[in-house]
């Protein structure tokens, strides 16, 4: 099976976690896009969705799914999103799609976090995928120095095929930190969050996944934490 077929398989399986009549939190990225397309087929069953990015909001709206601002919602039944890496404890690295801050906010008010990913995203130790950190633009270089002091190799994210610095939906910049072997994700998440100028770090460990649906050649594997 191709990677896209695996992503589609977990997106279809994730529909089982959608709760009728509720508002659903929806993530950002290629796997989340497959889920949005499946959600569009059952849109009559849900009240609407909260999006974790402008791109996700546009795709949801394109399917005719009502999109709510999080300030209009007191709680979310389930948040469904992909991951760049996930370990055996349900800790994740997210942010490859640059929506880590809003993803973390939406996940924080959701009763359940369902991660959907192809099997290649399951790792023993987080860190092979560069860790994204969103920062205020004026703090960019100061934060990079502190991330380097933690043993990482920080690099400012630029637009694809350009030297222009990438800007998030929040007006922030992203520093991608390579070279990390993250043996204590919760501790590192706390340390990076305490760096002045950091908006959010793409470690989802203090609040990890409750369930992971992993796409494998033998079918969708369900892992609960």
Contact 24/46 with Cβ under 8 angstroms? yes
Residue 134 bears catalytic tag: no
Q: Write the DSSP assignment of 21-89 as a string of letters.
A: TSEEEE--SHHHHHHHHHHHTTGGGSSEEEESSHHHHHHHHHTT--EE-GGG-S-BSEEEE--SEE-TT
Contact 175/80 with Cβ under 8 angstroms? no
Q: From CA 56, how far away is CA 49, in angstroms rounded? A: 10
Q: What are 147's two structure tokens?
A: 């991330």
Q: Output the furthest CA–CA distance in the chain (Å, rounded).
A: 51
In our burial notation (b when 16+ CB lie closer than 10 A, e otherwise), range 30-50 reads ebbbbbbebbeeeeeebbbbb
Q: From CA 179, how far away is CA 153, in angstroms rounded? A: 6
Q: What are 14's two structure tokens?
A: 């994730």
Q: What are 104's two structure tokens?
A: 């973390």
**Catalytic option among 103, 124, 134, 187:** 103
Other C-beta atoms within 10 Å of 184: how many? 12
Residues annotated catalytic, as ranges: 103
């Amino acid at each position: 099976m191709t990677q896209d077929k695996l992503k589609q398989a977990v997106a279809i399986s994730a529909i089982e976690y959608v709760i009728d009549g509720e508002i659903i939190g929806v993530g950002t990225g290629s796997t989340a896009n497959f889920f949005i397309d499946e959600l569009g087929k059952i849109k009559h069953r849900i009240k609407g969705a909260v999006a974790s990015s402008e791109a996700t909001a546009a795709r949801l709206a394109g399917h005719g799914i009502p999109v709510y601002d999080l300030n209009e919602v007191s709680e979310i039944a389930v948040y469904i999103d992909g991951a760049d890496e996930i370990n055996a404890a349900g800790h994740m690295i997210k942010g490859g799609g640059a929506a880590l801050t809003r993803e973390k906010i939406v996940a924080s008010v959701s009763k359940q976090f369902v991660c959907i990913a192809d099997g290649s995203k399951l790792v023993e130790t987080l860190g092979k995928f560069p860790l994204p950190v969103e920062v205020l633009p004026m703090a960019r270089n100061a934060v990079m120095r502190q991330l380097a002091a933690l043993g990482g190799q920080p690099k400012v994210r630029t637009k694809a095929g350009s030297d222009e610095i990438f800007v998030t939906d929040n007006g922030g910049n992203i520093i991608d930190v390579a070279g990390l072997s993250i043996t204590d994700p919760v501790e590192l998440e706390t340390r990076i969050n305490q760096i002045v100028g950091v908006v959010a770090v793409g470690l989802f460990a203090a609040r990890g996944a409750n369930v992971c649906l992993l796409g494998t050649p033998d079918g969708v594997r369900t892992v609960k934490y």
